[in-house]
Structure 1
C-alpha cells in the first residue's frame, strides 16, 4: 500500500511540474487570432534548458514558401516537458510549427 502511494505521488509530481508552454508570433498582416492552417513543423533540440541549440538554424521561408503573412507557434508539448523533467533539464526539446491563413495555400 505504501509503495502505491509513493508511485501515485511521483506521478502527480510529474504531471504538476510538466506544463505545456506555447508562444505564437504573427508576421505580416496576420494576427494570432486569425484562422490558420498548419503547413509544417520542426522539432528543436537543445541542451541545458535551451542554452545550447543542437539544431542548425532554419528560415521560415523553407516552411511557408514566399508567404509574408504567416504565424509561428513554438511550444513545449507534454512529451517535451516529460523528457525535460526526466533528464533534469539537460535535454530540452521543443516544437515549432508554421501556419498560414486558411484562405491561402502554399501552391499559390
Structure 2
C-alpha cells in the first residue's frame, strides 16, 4: 500500500515538473522569434506511441493564420498533455500548437 502511494506521488511530481516542457518555436517569413506577437489560434495535435504515429490529417498553418506570410508556430506540451501522456504510458501523446502573428499584422 505504501509503495503505491509513493509511485503515485512520483508520477504526480513528474507531471507537474513537465509543465511547458518540450517547447519548439518556428518563425516563418520575415519575422524573428523575439519580435512581439499576438496569439491568433491554437490547435491540439494527437499522436500515438510517444509521438511517432499522428492521428488524423496533418495540420496546415494557413488554416489557422489565414493569408499571413509572417507568423510563428509554437508547439508545446501543456500540463494536460503531459498528464495524458503519463496516464497512458506514452500510448497517447498529445501536443498543443499555438500560432502567433506580428502585432502590426493584426487587424483591429
The normalised TM-score by structure 1 is 0.84
Answer yes or no: is 1:96 the counterpart of 2:94: no
Structure number with bigger Rg: 1
The aligned runs of 1:1-108 (5 Å cut-off) are 3=2, 7=5, 10-16=8-14, 18-19=17-18, 20-105=21-106, 107=107
Structure 1 vs Structure 2 CA RMSD: 2.1
CA distance in 1, matches of 2:56, 2:44: 9
What CA distance in whole angstroms lies between the structure 1 residues aligned with 2:23 and 2:51? 15
Deviations 1:40-96 (A, max 9, x none): 111001100111111211211111111111000000111101110110000000001
Structure 1 gaps, min length 5: none
State the TM-score, normalizing by the size of structure 2. Answer: 0.84
Q: How many residues align?
A: 105
Does structure 1 conserve the Cα–Cα contact (< 8 Å) formed by 2:11 and 2:86? no
Structure 2 unpaired stretches of 5+:
none
Moved beyond 6 Å, runs of 4+: none
